[in-house]
């Protein structure tokens, strides 16, 4: 993770969620800056919620046109976005913003019929049972089997940026940005019942093999992309697809992750 200040962001593009709240916010911004196309832009201003920002980031990765993104919260939680404020012009806010680097995960999910599905995840990759039967998974790290059988609702691998999302709800650890760590967290484990998961280096390659797939089918989900009836799932950090988020000074994602750990 890098957190630096960058000045060369003169050309800005605007991307807006189709929600009524975001569209109303865009009306106030459209005449305040000479916007350019996404192709010409030095940075992208995104109006919406966390889900819409993730959608925009995934689109950029899919088209290999990754650019710094300054998100403005016109959704619900807005954990990865900045506050909707008019105290400064949008150009000044983006110019003064600090960069936070986020390294996504790459998932290779192999289905029971042998097909490979490749997706990226900014928050987490989750394996989830598809039926009332608990999932049974073999867990391997860097090619070595570390757990012969994990039985429960599933398991997930989370990035630091995603460690306060689904991972936290599953009682996983919050990871500071820049820690170069991943959280491996079980979801409602039945056996081993007391296993709380593991913290892994960012360089770790995590693999899961589904046991008894006909009786206990499992789906793999990379952020918002789902693959059903998987046989194996392989996960690694996609360090060649680094993303840059822009935050107002003192309001970075790193600060929000710190604050989350001291809520009572």
Tokens of 55: 């959608």
| Non-local CB neighbours of 227 within 8 Å, separated by 6+ positions | 109, 111, 117, 119, 219, 220, 221
Annotated binding residues, written as ranges, equal: 50-51, 55, 123-124, 153, 161, 164-169
Quickly name the fold that domain 105-238 has.
Answer: Tumour Suppressor Smad4 (2.60.200)
Question: How many CB atoms within 10 Å of residue 76?
Answer: 11
Would you list which residues are annotated within the binding site for NAD(+)?
50-51, 55, 123-124, 153, 161, 164-169
Tell me which of 50, 113, 223, 248 is the catalytic residue. 50
Alpha carbons 141 and 130: distance in angstroms, whole number: 24
Overall average pLDDT of the 61-82 stretch: 89
What confidence score (pLDDT) does residue 80 get? 85
pLDDT in tens, 143-168: 999 999 999 999 999 999 899 889 99
DSSP state, residue 240: G
The tens digit of pLDDT for each residue in 190-234 reads 999 889 999 999 999 999 999 999 999 999 999 989 999 999 999
DSSP-assigned letter for residue 62: H
pLDDT at 8: 65
| HSE-up of residue 112 (Cα within 13 Å, Cβ side) | 12
Main-chain dihedrals φ then ψ at residue 28, nearest 5 degrees? -75, -20
So where are the chain's domains?
A: 12-103+242-260, 105-238
Region label for 142, one of left (φ > 0), alpha (ψ between -120 and 50) or beta (otherwise): left
Give catalytic status of residue 229 as yes or no. no
pLDDT tens digits, 5-47 = 445 688 999 999 999 999 998 988 888 899 999 999 999 999 9
C-alpha closest to that of 170 among 149, 151, 207, 197 = 197
- The rounded distance, in Å, linking the Cα atoms of 63 and 66 is 8
Return the pLDDT at 4.
Answer: 44
Q: What is the mean pLDDT of residues 181-186?
A: 98
In the chain, the largest separation of any two C-alpha atoms, in whole Å, equals: 60
Under CATH, domain 12-103+242-260 is a member of which superfamily? Probable inorganic polyphosphate/atp-NAD kinase; domain 1 (3.40.50.10330)
For the four alpha carbons of 38, 257, 127 and 233, in that order, the dihedral sign comes to positive
**Would the pLDDT of 78 be above 70?**
yes
pTM: 0.84
H helix or E strand, kind and range, residue 136: strand 135-141
């Amino acid at each position: 993770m890098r957190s630096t200040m960058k000045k060369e962001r003169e050309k800005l593009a605007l991307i807006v969620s189709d929600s009524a709240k975001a569209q109303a916010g865009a009306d106030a911004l459209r005449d305040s800056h000479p916007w350019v196309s996404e192709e010409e832009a030095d940075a992208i201003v995104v109006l919406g919620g966390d889900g819409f920002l993730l959608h925009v980031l995934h689109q950029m990765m899919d088209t290999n046109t990754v650019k710094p993104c300054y998100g403005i919260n016109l959704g619900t939680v807005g954990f990865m976005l900045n506050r909707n404020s008019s105290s400064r012009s949008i150009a000044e806010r983006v110019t003064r913003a600090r960069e936070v680097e986020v390294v996504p995960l790459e998932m290779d999910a192999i289905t029971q019929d042998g097909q490979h599905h490749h997706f990226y995840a900014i928050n987490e990759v989750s394996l989830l049972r598809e039926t009332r039967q608990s999932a049974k998974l073999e867990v391997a790290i860097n090619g070595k089997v570390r757990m012969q059988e994990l039985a429960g609702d599933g398991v997930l691998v989370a990035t630091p940026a995603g460690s306060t999302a689904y991972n936290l709800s599953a009682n996983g650890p919050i990871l500071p940005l820049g820690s170069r760590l991943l959280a491996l967290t079980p979801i409602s484990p039945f056996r081993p019942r007391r296993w709380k998961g593991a913290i892994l280096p960012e360089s770790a390659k995590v693999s899961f093999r589904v046991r008894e797939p006909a009786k206990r089918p499992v789906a793999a989900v990379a952020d918002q992309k789902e693959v059903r009836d998987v046989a194996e799932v392989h996960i690694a950090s996609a360090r060649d697809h680094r993303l840059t988020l822009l935050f107002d000074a003192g309001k970075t994602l790193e600060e929000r992750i710190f604050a989350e750990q001291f809520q009572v």
